[in-house]
Amino acid sequence: MTEVVSENSEVTVLLVDDNPQNLKVLYETLKDKGYRLLIANEGEKALDLAHRHHPEVILLDIMMPEMDGYEVCERLKADPETADIAVVFLSALDDLQAKVKGFSLGGADYISKPFQSLEVIARVKTHARVIRLERELQARNRELQGDQTRILDSISEGIYGLDENGLIEFANPAAAAIAGRPVEDLIGKCFFDLHFATADECRDSLPVMATCNKGVPEHQRDIQMLRVDGSSFPAEYRATPKLDGDELHGAVVVFHDITAELESEKALEEARELVQEQRDQLAHTSRLTTMGEMAAGFAHEVNQPLTAISNYARVSKRMMAKDEPDLELLGETLDKIDAQSHRASEIIRRIRRFMKKPATGKEELSVPELLEDTRQFAEVDMRNNEGGIEVRVDDDLPGVLADPIQVQQVALNLIRNALEATRSAGSSQPVEVSARRCGDQCVRVEVRDHGVGVPEEAEDKLFHPFYTTKEDGMGIGLATCRSLMQAQGGDIGYQRPEGGGACFWFVLPIAGAEGAPCTPDEA
């Protein structure tokens, strides 16, 4: 018999029967249905055609010489290349045992002779559709598996699939590279024995054990894991339970070597420490510069009580030289000496406190006390700048968490700038310093002057390093102030007030307040 092919070869049907008349009947029944028809009159020929053309459906006669239909079906199902073909048995036998045997060998259906055309057409159509759908699904699955394999192979992180006992069922190339062993050598190995050297009594506390045994997701960083050669490396891993409904089937572990990350973090931390050290040195240099600028005023402030002490001491000596000294008046004079010495001591105390380097850490500060102390500190400039300072603070203002020296440095810088701007404009109005609560997180401090103000084109550059609107300015004052404020968890800015002049503000986080640090939006 020869092979016959129809015009439409989308679905292939193989007709197998040793009786030419039966083959003719089947062919005539299906020839106009759009199938590609193949014909074989013996078992060996049927197997050969099946291997070469992979038909969707085989109509297979049971009773054939040399090789019957049962053996043909059994050999088809034993071969992975032909195992998915739908085998429909053809037989005149109406024996239940014969049907059971056919189904047990992998048959999909059974048609009794003599054939009914409509039955043959319906069954072939049904099985052809099912097989085509199954093959399309298998092809799609293979495509997805290929995509999945390519994705897993391209991932730089190691991935393990573990069963509930911790045995490795899957490993991607990255896991093999990290472990130092080929993928095929990892399969079947115990994850815990491979990567952790721990006594048996401590196994329950090993990483990933809770995920495998109890379905608890895990994420840990800087865990020491072992390679096959016994060397260790710091790792970060995530373990996710493999669940089928409520049934636990092990875990998926994603991990990677973080040696380079830890080295980078260490280098970054060292760089941050260096930047912080340089920032502190710059702030200290700025304070030294401020002290140099205010030296004449401080000398005058200290000289006044010293001169008074000297005068009161001479008066006291003259009083004591009398035959009957007025002890009450002498006591009052000595009290004045004591008061003037305290005045000089307080000035020196403020200078020393301002000049020292900040202590590490922050503390809870009283904003009213800090602003009043800063006002007194700035009074030495008031005579030079012919101005005054008014401080207004809301009642029940909460404390803030910050470094007192750095905050005072910022406040003093803004106040001195305001005094200088007021003097330059020829104004006699005092500099206004105010503090109020701003939302639930911050306290806002404002310093306003009535000077000439800031040009519009300069507003966006005020806090840039080395930018200044002063003829003899260096442009590091406001830049340093911003750096100091941000280090406190706050911020600093400028706004153009109504009525002229300039208004600078800074915000600090309230002590004990929960949430993010103060931001310009909150301010």
Q: Which segments within 231-310 are labelled E, that is strand?
A: 232-244, 247-257
Q: Which of 91-95, 331-335, 457-461 has the lowest mean pLDDT?
A: 91-95
Identify the band that residue 296 occupies on the pLDDT scale cut at 50, 70 and 90.
low
Instruction: List pLDDT tens digits, range 383-417.
Output: 555 568 889 998 889 999 888 878 888 888 888 88
Relative orientation angle of helices 96-104 and 69-78, to the nearest 10 degrees: 20
CA distances from 69 to 15, 92, 298, 494, 506 (A): 12, 13, 116, 94, 93
pLDDT higher than 50, residue 326: yes
Q: Residue 187 gets which letter from DSSP?
A: T
Q: What is the mean pLDDT of residues 189-214?
A: 83
Residue type, 58: I
User: How far apart, in whole angstroms, are the C-alpha atoms of residue 3 and residue 45?
Assistant: 11
How many percent of the chain have pLDDT more than 90? 18
Q: What are the tokens at 289?
A: 């510069």
Instruction: List pLDDT tens digits, range 449-507.
Output: 888 888 877 777 777 766 566 655 544 578 778 888 887 888 888 888 888 888 999 99
pLDDT of residue 162: 92
Of 52, 13, 53, 54, the C-alpha closest to 31 is 13
Query: What is the pLDDT of the chain when averaged over all its residues?
Result: 81
User: How far apart, in whole angstroms, are the C-alpha atoms of residue 163 and residue 188?
Assistant: 10
pLDDT of residue 433: 92
Name the β-bridge partners of 89.
60, 110
Q: Residue 167 gets which letter from DSSP?
A: B
Provide φ and ψ at 254, rounded to 5°.
-115, 125
Name the β-bridge partners of 255.
158, 237
Residues 6+ apart with CB under 8 A from 378: 389, 412, 415, 416, 419
- Judge whether 166 and 209 are in contact, CB under 8 Å: yes
User: How far apart, in whole angstroms, are the C-alpha atoms of residue 449 and residue 502?
Assistant: 6
User: How far apart, in whole angstroms, are the C-alpha atoms of residue 73 and residue 79?
Assistant: 10
pLDDT of residue 188: 92
Provide φ and ψ at 245, rounded to 5°.
70, -120
Peptide bond before residue 114 is cis, with ω within 30 degrees of 0 = yes
Q: What are the tokens at 177?
A: 């590279």
- Judge whether 443 and 400 are in contact, CB under 8 Å: yes
Q: What is the mean pLDDT of residues 362-376?
A: 86
pLDDT of residue 361: 63
Name the β-bridge partners of 220.
237
How would you classify the pairing of strands 502-509 and 491-495?
antiparallel
Instruction: List pLDDT tens digits, range 342-355.
Output: 767 766 776 666 65
- Judge whether 166 and 121 are in contact, CB under 8 Å: no
Other residues' Cβ atoms within 10 Å of the Cβ of residue 179: 25
How would you classify the pairing of strands 158-162 and 247-257?
antiparallel
pLDDT higher than 60, residue 199: no
* Alpha helix ranges (H) inside 12-80: 20-30, 43-53, 69-78
pLDDT of residue 333: 77
* Alpha helix ranges (H) inside 322-441: 327-355, 367-385, 404-424
Of 267, 510, 258, the C-alpha closest to 365 is 510
Residues 6+ apart with CB under 8 A from 236: 220, 221, 222, 223, 255, 256, 258, 261
Q: What is the mean pLDDT of residues 325-340?
A: 79
Q: What are the tokens at 465?
A: 């390093």
HSE value, Cβ hemisphere, 13 Å, CA-based, for 33? 21
pLDDT higher than 80, residue 232: yes
